[in-house]
Structure 1
């Protein structure tokens, strides 16, 4: 997402101008205007949160999704990630950098870490995160769980899996067999059925621009469409006969995480993909970061003409949204992505905007921190209402991240524009009270 084109969309420019006029007239009413617009246009309501497989190793668990209040405010939990093998199938394994079946379904979860306070029994076939997802859904009837495939590290073989009709059929069948039919290796057939309610594709990225080791083909964009259509076909077939207790009629979700980068987005056949999916999760973050030496926004809502970035000047979440809508994505199938983390620089002079668009001596504290740590760092939080951005500056460190107030406004923006809802990466970056998920929920409720 680091080299988008530089041409702002017409709608973005009009929205920015309208916002400027409103702020000049009555700066204190900006939030009220957002809320009124949300109520006028009606609410959508998807609240998607990514749960990371590896979060358990740093103390995060499905139980914390429950006790923080996140679970009661989410509609979909995306479990990240499932891998794609070199032979083009979904699989489970215990191998560093390849798979973590232990975390997924083999690790016995103790009573203190279990959603319902009951420990996993040694003899039960499905334990670990997958069993905890079942328990989360049991106490939160509105919540669905979706397995997300790929991500930055595990998109290497997507191109091979999508390359031919035969390979697509094989790949999709293997994923449905493993995750939806619940035929996990080493346990009784069907033991994990019912854990997941659909598939999320996080191929980063068709046509290249992801991890340097990924397989890439010029025809990836077309094959991506065909892959999504094959997923839809097989999901619908499974749903017609695979409903609860064999009654049929179950609708399995099909979603995808798609890039903010406009060049990458334009490789996708968006109108055709849109017909196959329930919605697309727009990764409207990482617009700037510590791979750049100058401070900038991670995920500002509106474009700023004063942005000094060399390669992606005047980029914004709104610009990404308008790019997808202009290319045929129905608004109701566009879900706005938000970050629960931020990027930081050190050695930053104040300049005229409290460290914004200034040089630095490099990344601060590793360059990336979750909100639950950022909120307690020293410094003053600054809110640019015009461009929908927040940051913290203490005189030397500059951190770009979304505060709860900004997230509420972004959720209202999603509602105002008739979008499908919001998506967050990732739940373990929120605080123990679920403040960020609560902020998104507040915005969608108007």
Structure 2
């Protein structure tokens, strides 16, 4: 659908000035944001800068006994606020994101044609009937089919095929209600890029039929972050732009465990560029390192810690001179090092976010998205860098 839209735009703008054609193509790009529902008490939905976004992903719905559920205590009020936000910003498309890290139930829900139909029926009834007008589509965030996710969520070898079949069932039912209502409902999925997961070295193609999924989905939110987490052996970058020669991660993992490498990997697995939306993190990753060598980078660590989001890092760390500020020319990302406490922090700033958004544009991707909106500062500096 999105690819057809872009082709149509190209044809319809062929005889207008180049500036107008560029503007039309830009209007078709995705600038997306995930919004965690539980954050609405401190970050009201009415405050969302919807004029800077094209797509908003409300996170998360989960699965219980094979059915869609939403556990946010204020979900009804939040959904009503989403509908109001959409009325004020008709260009905004909102999607309910189902799943997330530690969200179980997918493997059982997707196991048979009957369980898939039952599960999707429940999602349609909850989000498109009971809360009609709040959502324009569904985002599947199954982390992860087959292997790589938290051990407690449950996984099967047949998950890989069943993920595709589940997406087809969502497409079928969203298409059916779309025909009845004269609307086009979207179907997307958030898919991984990080090559180190709970079971060690990780290959997304073992979890997903990537080429087949790309045919079913409107687009893929490529999670080009979490390249360095508590699953890695040394302190490393959360979202390095390119492969770093001194990274001790072995090959072929190192080749793919970066933003540009992840794009290449998905393209090699038959995912068109205009079906990919590049992810950027609005949060940092931290390590308590064993050595101060190399200013804390690529060092063994005793523990990982959460330094917070960009808002926290800007306010508390960047203002403290004990945190040394560094920039890596290959990773194209900043990092912080506290020598006294031997703490290493990987994060993104407006400069690095802008570089990643430019890469998405240069590679012909559909757009950019972030996890997650409330991590930005009050001036929306990271979002501004994405949108530019």
| TM band (smaller chain) | 0.7 to 0.9
- Aligned-residue Cα RMSD (Å) equals 2.0
1:210 counterpart = 2:156? no
Aligned counterpart, 2:18: none
C-alpha displacement of 1:297: 0.4
CA 220–211 in structure 1, closer or farther in 2 if over 3 Å, else same: same
Q: Look up the SS of the partner of 2:190 in the other structure.
A: strand
Question: Residue 306 of structure 2: which of 351, 355, 367 is its match?
Answer: 367
Question: Residue 97 of structure 2: which of 138, 145, 148 is its match?
Answer: 148
C-alpha displacement of 1:223: 0.8
Say which one has the larger Rg.
Answer: 1
C-alpha displacement of 1:265: 3.2
1:275-286 to 2 correspondence within 5 Å? 275-286=215-226
Distance 1:152 1:137 in 2: 28
**1:279–1:334 Cα contact (<8 Å) kept:** yes
**2:147–2:207 Cα contact (<8 Å) kept:** no
Distance 1:362 1:237 in 2: 50
1:230-245 to 2 correspondence within 5 Å? 230-242=169-181
Q: Look up the SS of the partner of 1:199 in the other structure.
A: strand
1:82 counterpart = 2:82? no
**2:289–2:299 Cα contact (<8 Å) kept:** no
1:40-189 to 2 correspondence within 5 Å? 43=26, 45-57=29-41, 59-65=42-48, 70-86=49-65, 88-92=66-70, 99-100=71-72, 102-105=73-76, 128-154=77-103, 156-181=104-129, 183=130
**1:259–1:265 Cα contact (<8 Å) kept:** no
Q: What is the TM-score when the length of structure 2 is the normalising length? A: 0.84
Higher relative contact order (CA 8 A, sep 6+): 1
C-alpha displacement of 1:292: 4.0
CA 73–337 in structure 1, closer or farther in 2 if over 3 Å, else same: same
C-alpha displacement of 1:344: 1.4
Aligned length: 348
Gaps of 5+ in 1: 1-38, 93-98, 106-127, 184-191, 243-247
Q: What is the TM-score when the length of structure 1 is the normalising length? A: 0.74
CA deviation profile, 1:32-84 (whole Å, cap 9, x unmatched): xxxxxxx9xx7562011110011135x2221332xxxx321111110000111
Gaps of 5+ in 2: 1-21, 196-201
1:259 counterpart = 2:201? no
CA 254–177 in structure 1, closer or farther in 2 if over 3 Å, else same: same
CA deviation profile, 1:236-267 (whole Å, cap 9, x unmatched): 1111112xxxxx2x110100011114513333
Distance 1:293 1:175 in 2: 39
Distance 1:257 1:285 in 2: 12
Q: Look up the SS of the partner of 1:358 in the other structure.
A: coil
